[in-house]
Amino acid sequence: MRSASKQPVIVGMSGGVDSAVAALVLLRDGHAVQGLHMSNWDDDGQYCTAAEDYQDARKVCTDLDIPLHRVNFAREYREQVFADFLEQYRRGRTPNPDIACNRRIKFGAFLDYAMRLGGDRIATGHYARIDRSGPTVRLLKGVDAGKDQSYFLHAVKANALSRSVFPLGRYTKSEVRRMANDYGFANHAKRDSTGICFIGERPFREFLCNYLPASPGRIETPDGDQVGTHDGLMYYTLGQRQGLKIGGRRGYDAAPWYVAGKDLARNVLLAVQDHEHPLLWSSGLIATNLHWIAGSPPAEDFECHVRTRYRQTEVVGRAQVQVDGAVAISFREPQWAVTPGQYAVLYREEECLGGGPIDSATAWANPSRAAALSA
């Protein structure tokens, strides 16, 4: 058996600064490192950066004097991630395909391929940590609170986590960029990728309409008054303010409008004025298809911290596991724009327990606020 200091590690080389420094840290720690660049989307259009990213990855591997392999998982991505992405939009939800990509592609197909290359473990540039001190592996937050990516990793299977390394979990982003600059990586100042990987910087509506036909309809108030028209329910998400194109309306003040709901049966988008409108707030949620990193929830009823979006600050909640495996979460304080299709991820201090897609939100009962708005 190989010594721990000489374990062959296959690093996912994206072409970005994070994966470059992850490989550098592993080399300095004494590991035998190889790079593997994967492509998940076949697109030769003006918005695709795959060719540029590959060249950046190749330059980093040349600088580090490590081999770089290349693999295409476009078919697996379309079948295992993109198909569900489209289905969620058809159902009026707002999905996060990066969660499924991590579970099925990066820590699924990629891991299997890396093992065939002779790797003992894989590594990525995620800002998270793994605790192997106990009987089961634990997923911990990265030390950089502003970059922690445990939210995106909560659905990765425990056996995949046990074969993974996150070298950047103990560093801050500024430290990573400094290491990249000190080493002389050409990509040390490369901008972080944002948004959904296969869409890139292209207009979202332009992309989505290639796969789902637009179906315009009415924008209505909770009282049924039409205040505008929408281009298709799939283009909107709860809490959205921009792009509604509701101008000055007779009988309404100049306050901004927000998306507050979708009526799929009637193809109606519900809009309200006032950021504090009760329809925009929820006292809890139901999450389904829960994945628990430990294999099971810590208890049938337990207190935890919850994120309902990646950038959201954690909030205190109480989780109750249902007979069917779903989880009902009640918030200590009401939360704004809890969105079906997004993920509720549960934490206990530094540990990520797991999570699942939000199926529905519990309406916030606030009679005094509702009365004030209708006065």
Q: What φ, ψ does residue 108 adopt, rounded to 5°?
A: -130, -90
Q: Do 150 and 139 contact (CB within 8 A), yes or no?
A: yes
| DSSP string for 259-296 | EEEEETTTTEEEEEESTT-GGGEEEEEEE-S-EETTSS
Amino acid found at 329: I
Residues 6 or more apart whose CB falls under 8 angstroms from that of 224 comprise none
Q: How many CB atoms lie within 10 A of CB 315?
A: 16
Q: How far is CA 122 from CA 98, 112, 125, 172, 181, in A?
A: 18, 10, 11, 21, 24
**Catalytic sites, residue numbers:** 101, 197
Q: Which sign, positive or negative, has the C-alpha torsion 291, 352, 238, 231?
A: negative
First to last CA, the chain: 75
Residues in the chain: 375
Residues 6 or more apart whose CB falls under 8 angstroms from that of 93 comprise 339, 340, 341
Q: What φ, ψ does residue 184 adopt, rounded to 5°?
A: 95, 20
Question: Which of 319, 320, 362, 325 has the alpha carbon at shortest distance from 340?
Answer: 362
Residues 6 or more apart whose CB falls under 8 angstroms from that of 109 comprise 73, 76
| Residue 187 structure tokens | 């990509």
